[in-house]
Chain A
């Protein structure tokens, strides 16, 4: 599996230095947590890594590919999926349609393919099966035909996770995957993350709840004011007082 890494990342918006000279290399699999106070630059980092923002300085690499200048859809096609801090879904269509949207390499999405409809029926059927299996995996199989907008917040978060999985991405960036959901739903999501780890995927998530980080993360990265101030296993990083003070300050 290829490593996702970056060096020298700098990003400034309107006078705010969101990222300052950031160097980072992610592990090839497992669960990594990014923590830090508000404004530390966590979401900005994810936006840069997934192509939604272009850094002012620095480079990002996925294996041999340089991804710094790539557009978001290009990064996604390299096998990197993500969720958003403000939940993004197509609320006006069904749960199933959202997941079908996430499937890759669809001939039916090409103009000629859609017009001539050669072999689309088979492709759609296969994608439907895959989508249904994924929805079963996350526990939304009862809601397949409901509109995404009618789900509860926690169920919508599950749906975004299902969409990420539907892309068959090896690397998932999750921006606060359990924020605002019931503890029961949160456990379900964490359970799913552990499953993903067993499947050999790399999950990187932003989190504020230290307990959760302690529970699931293999690696913790602590950010503050645009820089990485510590990284390492939770047992190590989370015990250091000065880190925790920065975090709680």
Chain B
């Protein structure tokens, strides 16, 4: 439930670094990712020992804290005023301004993220992670420090979320805390559940569905406030239906204990 928090941390950290230090996009993104990974330790170390449900609450709490920080730390984040005027991404001197440019950039970043995830998944590291998921006690009996693996997985996911945040910040060139609320976390969770967890294609498919949906709604011609609520209702219904009828999602391999 804290995914939006890391997304936001990545956005703010890289935006601030680009603005105040004139760093190039890739460097700021990297710093954002490292910051998110480090900060994730504050929540993962204490909470990963907890039972599933309580871990969810802890991440919920963490999300609220980070939102609180982003919204109240006027000196650094300018709170609700947000941070305007973020420079567009500069990669080795090349500034990306056009839509096509952004499509290419985000696709490349996505491919990079995917290749990291794939490589980890196919390695012995991934083997242990799968074991921890299926039977943590068995994994422990084989000498695996399961807590550490979970902390690492959490940190990696935080870093990836942060990289997305950085891209977002440099694309929209303005960020404020309202883009990084619990609703965004729930949206991401929905994407994973609908598309399917435990498979590399799941989140991609889930994202496609949940992003295309509101665009489709706009075509139908609802006024924007109605559309926003309707969209969320559809997300809610999809989420409930999916998790009940097909917890593995469309193409996933993990049923959340089902």
Contacts and interface: CB of A to CB of B under 8 A. Distances in A.
Asked whether A and B interact, the reply is yes
A116 to B, nearest CB: 10
Interface string B116-138: 10011001111110110011011
Given A76-B140, A101-B128, A167-B143, A90 B134 contact: yes
B127 A111 contact: no
Contacts of B139: 101
A92 B99 CA distance: 43
**Chain B, interface SS category:** helix
A72 B116 contact: no
Interface in A86-124: 88-93, 97, 100-102, 104, 106, 108-111, 113-115, 117, 120, 124
A108 B122 CA distance: 10
Contacts of A88: 135, 137-138, 141
Contacts, number: 91
B127 to A, nearest CB: 6
Interface string B84-104: 000000000000000000000
Contact of A167 (B124, B125, B142): B142
Given A111-B152, A114-B124, A101 B137 contact: no
Contacts of B125: 108-111, 113-114
Interface stretch (A57-65, A77-85, A211-219, A233-241): A77-85
A203 interface: no
Nearest to A173: B141
A72 B140 contact: yes
B145 interface: yes
Kindly state the interface size class of chain A when it binds its partner.
Answer: 20 to 34
A115 B112 CA distance: 13
A73 B140 contact: yes
Given A90-B134, A114-B119, A117-B119, A97 B141 contact: no
A84 B140 CA distance: 12
A33 interface: no
Interface residues of B, number: 26
Which residue, of A97, A104, A109, has the highest number of chain B Cβ atoms within 10 A?
A109
Contact of A73 (B120, B123, B124, B145): B145
A177 to B, nearest CB: 15
Given A113-B125, A115-B119, A84 B137 contact: yes
Given A88-B137, A90-B134, A91-B134, A108 B144 contact: no
A11 B197 CA distance: 40
Contacts of A111: 120, 125, 152, 156
B77 interface: no
Given A82-B141, A88-B135, A109-B128, A114 B123 contact: yes
B28 interface: no
Given A92-B134, A108-B124, A50 B152 contact: no
Given A88-B138, A90-B138, 14 more contacts: A73-B144, A73-B146, A76-B141, A81-B141, A89-B138, A90-B134, A90-B135, A97-B127, A108-B124, A109-B144, A111-B120, A111-B156, A113-B123, A113-B125
Interface of B: 116, 119-120, 123-128, 130-131, 134-135, 137-146, 152, 156, 253
15 contacts: A73-B143, A73-B144, A76-B143, A81-B142, A84-B141, A88-B135, A93-B131, A104-B143, A108-B123, A108-B124, A109-B127, A110-B125, A113-B123, A114-B125, A163-B142
